[in-house]
Structure 1
């Protein structure tokens, strides 16, 4: 099995490419540390929504719906306000329609390559971003921290190891998500109507007109019950929905099956993600985003127990880490 890691280009952008047998992947350190593609080259499968040459300018301007963007802090914060540990921080209001801050700072920032290489069983790359008073986001969230992402390719697919370290001397919030964009269809020439998705969702959070949780739940529709059970078409209707995560059989995951090809893509995200966001671009066939998220949307302003809503914090010197895997069965 050919295994290698090398520097190259992805549509004109600096990339680190990984190969392992039939799989290949590429990371764009300069654009949010985004893992922009994951492919099965033998079968022609493209599992992630890629911008391609024609979409690169839009992707650079708004890198949120291609590959695996890192959101920190993720999703929406009312009026840009972020109360934490007795202080209120003010994030820029960057979603005019809702008057909220959306998606944080890391998915648009430049990351650096710490290491890449290949061994007998896998190829890998580690990218990192260090935030301190020199970083542009420090003016909004004045915390010192390092986020590292290690991606590896092997016969077992793509693994992702994420760590956040508090480099500072004060307690810091640790709120994070991935806006993972999955192709449906991922099989060449396939039809989105042949696809069924399952996800380990629990309750659906009620969201108000500003897309912020009220603290209440909404009853699941028949399709949403199928989503956590036997599966449903990912484009059954428009989805911009927020759910609790309830692991099944010890795992927190999304499974997408091409029923015609008999191929299932598994996205096993780990149990630290307490929430799922699922967005399907107004039920537009082609791709959708099953987003594993540590925290409830707007968590710092929601009066519910911190553990229940994933309002995690890190003391000075502490780490938070989680591992995920994308693979085919």
Structure 2
């Protein structure tokens, strides 16, 4: 299966771009937030990303954050929806009323434009983008002009992602972004949740208040959290909705999810521009979300040093870029 291909198709009633390369297949849904909804190995039956069933589709259209790889811009929670930046206060809608927060931004559900897709040799690719200006619904939320572009390449080396944000306006804008990457546990048919171990390049754990906003203090790490840095841990050892600083290992910032029964590891290698991890596991069942995040949750409303918490801006014409990759390692016994 050396050849690659890219073609338009339908996925659960939605327009989709399908990529194939080697034994892999990936599926992108441009009209629902440019979500890369599937990454599969067609030979082994592995399904690495959580995909919505036909029954899930109405829920998915409403809020697609726990399937595939949704982009969060700006990510996670903002207290009272307030967003102070450069001497101005922006007001985001409060869409988590029980905690009085704005949650997860607004690009994960809007249609993205397919710029190109195709294949060459062993690789297939798709590029999608969203341009926000005065005409776009997102402009009302954060009145800046910018383009966010996602480029995915599928090859026998797995699924590679490149994201760019370009400031198209005349003033500086905040660049705050995360991916709510949702991984199946188990990803292999016939394996059980108990067959899985997870590693993650975490540093410190942030203390969160009852509104799930960081207090600015750290909590001591539990033994299992220390184990995440080393030999790995059961991804469901407790109900996780935890926020951590990133501490790269060996120059890399990554998550590893190992199926011990198959001796296979899914590696999620993200760039070091991501200064924080959010780790969520659905109350301890079915899936785990290692979310690489540029910034601390609620960063603009904290008094912590901007560089430390990933709170940075793009000047007019600036482009920010980062890469990530999902790939598979077969471990020797």
TM-score of the alignment, normalized to the shorter chain, above 0.5: yes
Q: CA deviation at 1:121?
A: 2.4
The alpha-carbon deviation at position 2 of structure 1 amounts to 2.1
- Report the equivalent of 2:205: 204
- Which moved further from structure 2: 47-56 or 33-42? 47-56
- Report the CA distance between 1:214 and its aligned residue: 0.6
CA RMSD after TM alignment: 0.6
Superimposed CA distance per residue, residues 81-104 of structure 1 (whole angstroms, 9 cap, x where no aligned partner): 000001000000000111000000
Question: Are 2:314 and 1:314 aligned?
Answer: yes
Query: Distance between the aligned counterparts of 2:50 and 2:64, measured in 1?
Result: 12
Question: SS of the residue aligned with 1:44?
Answer: coil
1:100-147 C-alpha deviation (Å, 9 max, x unpaired): 000000001110100000001200000000000111121121100000
TM-aligned CA deviation for residue 229 of structure 1: 1.3
User: What corresponds to 1:325 in structure 2?
Assistant: 325
Match of 1:94 in 2: 95
Distance 1:316 1:275 in 2: 26
**2:80 maps to what in 1?**
79
Aligned length: 328
> What is the CA–CA distance in structure 2 between the aligned matches of 1:228 and 1:150, rounded to whole Å?
30
1:101 and 1:59 map into 2 onto residues whose CA distance is 19
* Mapping for residues 152-171 of structure 1, pairs under 5 Å: 152-171=153-172
CA distance in 1: counterparts of 2:202 and 2:218, whole angstroms? 13
Counterpart of 1:30 in structure 2 is 31
Secondary structure of 1:54's partner?
coil
TM-score of the superposed pair, with normalisation by structure 1: 0.99
Alignment correspondent of 1:300: 300
Q: Distance in 2 between matches of 1:129 and 1:227?
A: 36
- Name the SS for the 1:209 alignment partner: coil
Q: Which SS does the other structure have where 1:53 is aligned?
A: coil
The normalised TM-score by structure 2 is 0.98
In 1: Cα distance, 2:69 partner to 2:231 partner: 26
SS of aligned partner of 1:57: helix
State whether residues 239 and 282 of structure 2, in contact with CA within 8 Å, keep that contact through their aligned partners in structure 1: yes
Mapped pair 1:20 → 2:21: yes
- Once residues 185 and 77 of structure 1 are traced to their aligned partners in structure 2, the CA distance between those partners, rounded to angstroms, is 32
Map 1:1-329 to 2 at 5 A. 1-284=2-285, 286-329=286-329
Q: Which of structure 1's runs of 4+ aligned residues deviate more than 3 A? A: none
**Quick one: distance in 2 between partners of 1:222 and 1:25?**
36
Deviation, 1:58, is 1.0
